[in-house]
Homo-oligomer: A and B are copies of this chain.
């Protein structure tokens, strides 16, 4: 199971140029040189971006003759989306639970911060740990 950490993936997706590369790559595999012809940046810049994208597993290098083409790994996007969705649901669920608990505690006169600490201890998801097993 290649549990890539979420944050670097999002950091990689948080760049317009990188989206441009991914979009252009959506038209089929291409090399850094080929992409440089379609995007307003240098080949080297694209090469760096491709390295970043490869680092987080969003893209995959494929040797074709003397060219080094890159292929988008769509499943990685989907997998990331899955985890993100789970987090969103989890958050909503948890906050709904807290709101209810807070109301109950207000009746008994206990500070609501106690409830907060209870829920704070180690969230169900781990986003920054999890070693890369690539």
Q: Which residues of A contact B (CB under 8 A)?
A: 6-8, 10-16, 19, 22-24, 26-28, 30, 38, 71-72, 74-82, 84-85, 87-95, 98, 102, 112, 115-117, 119-120, 123, 127-128
Copies, count: 2
Main secondary structure of the interface of A (DSSP, over half): helix
Identify 27 residue pairs between A and B in the complex whose beta-carbon atoms are under 8 Å apart, listed by A's number.
A10-B10, A10-B11, A10-B13, A10-B14, A11-B14, A11-B15, A14-B14, A23-B127, A28-B95, A28-B112, A28-B119, A71-B95, A72-B91, A74-B87, A74-B88, A74-B90, A74-B93, A75-B88, A77-B85, A77-B87, A77-B88, A77-B91, A78-B84, A81-B82, A81-B85, A81-B88, A82-B85
